[in-house]
Amino acid sequence: MHKFTCEYTLILMRSASLNQSLLKWYDRHARRLPWRVSPEDRKLGEIPDPYRIWLSEVMLQQTTVAAVKDYFEKFTNAWPSVEDLAAADEEDVMKAWAGLGYYSRARNLKKCADTVARDHGGRFPEAEDALLKLPGIGPYTAAAIATIAFDRHAAVVDGNVERVLTRLTQIETPLPEAKSQIRDVMATLTPHDRPGDFAQAVMDLGATICTPKRPACGLCPWMSDCKVQNSSLAEALPRKAPKKEKPTRYGAAFVAVDRESGAILLRRRPPKGLLGGMTEVPGTDWSEAFDVSGAQEHVPFPSEWRICAGVVKHTFTHFHLRLTVLRAYAPQDILRMVEGTWWSPPAALDEEALPTVMRKVLSAALD
DNA sequence: CATCCGTGGGA
DNA sequence: TTCCCAAGGAT
């Protein structure tokens, strides 16, 4: 059991009033999003499409709305239903996902579509625990789909909810220890009528008003109930463990250009781990020791490799990367083709499953 | 529970 | 420039 402060209990006793005031705010301020059924359309009887809810929620994992919008459009145009996605080639899915990051999401997205099509007759299960069993669907996404798509009562807890509720009830316990307490508060606050709209309302509140920096407390529908309203304490919550420093890794990347066609030599990365299954140009390992001269051992073929101006700098989740780019011109037949490598003509380059760091490499080599 | 896993935009 | 972090999941 958690220790409940007096004020904290008071908040929970007022949950009926709190969720009504927030839903009222949501009716007027809900963001228009491509995958969302607006409150007024919902009242007119429009039902959300579980496929679109699922797709958007997976794309939104650790990713901003602005970054997701074009990808959501691309995916729903190419694959309008979960059956369409199940019938797609995984390689085409990876190509469409390229640039959005966290590529295991794309592989699990495809696996999940396959499972839903094969084992569930093309319909997503409605229960939270059944959704949780599907690939790429964790506690947050299972609750979000259950409540937004199927109107089930579920405690949706994401980063926004954590921020809003730790502030509202002044939970000073640092994350991740506070997670279970936050989930309890959310479960209590969530109404049985319009639970999905309520979840989206808390997330919208966190995204637009109760922001990490400089929250707009004066515009908040929960201001009068909030324990830290207009206080410097608001920005300090939720409390988190200090993060580790990112090391810097170094490496070299080889851009081989066919003089005739301009085709570029590419290869596939291993299926798991960093950038798993994505496409790259040949290169060295990325190590913490800077050693460009050692790169010569890794060239795809002997040639006059020239160092390109401008070291490519890129930051991943847990390290910084500095890549020295080398370029050489060579006919395609100079290379005894290795399994998993191919020459990609310039017109096809945009469609390759190239992660952003590799597009930076090509830009440094070719511009 | 800790670690690994991308990216782009804002302060 | 550098740092922060955004609708997390898998292992």
Domains and CATH numbers, chain A: 6-236 (1.10.340.30), 248-366 (3.90.79.10)
> Which is catalytic among the residues A40, A57, A128, A260?
A57
Query: A272: Cβ under 7 Å from strand C?
Result: no
CA to C1' distance (Å), from A48 to C3: 38
* Cβ neighbours of residue A260 closer than 8 Å, sequence gap 6 or more: A331, A332
A167 in helix, strand or coil? helix
Query: A206: Cβ under 7 Å from strand C?
Result: yes
Q: Are A186 and A165 in contact (CB under 8 A)?
A: yes
Report pLDDT for A367: 82
Report pLDDT for A214: 93
How far is the C-alpha of A311 from the C-alpha of A1, rounded, in Å?
54
How far is the C-alpha of A179 from the C-alpha of A2, rounded, in Å?
11
Please state whether the peptide bond connecting residue A39 to the residue before it is cis, i.e. omega within 30 degrees of 0.
Answer: no
Nearest residue by alpha-carbon distance to C1' of C10 = A136
Q: State which residues of chain A have pLDDT below 70.
A: 1-8, 10, 336-337
CA to C1' distance (Å), from A212 to C4: 10
Report pLDDT for A6: 56
CA to C1' distance (Å), from A158 to C11: 20
Q: Which tens digit of pLDDT belongs to each residue from A196-216?
A: 999 999 999 999 999 999 999
Report pLDDT for A7: 57
**Known active-site residue A57:** yes
Report pLDDT for A14: 87
Q: Which tens digit of pLDDT belongs to each residue from A77-135?
A: 999 999 999 999 999 999 999 999 999 999 999 999 999 999 999 999 999 999 999 99
Nearest residue by alpha-carbon distance to C1' of C8 = A61
Q: Are A269 and A294 in contact (CB under 8 A)?
A: no
Residues 101-130/A with CB within 7 Å of nucleic chain C are 102, 104, 108
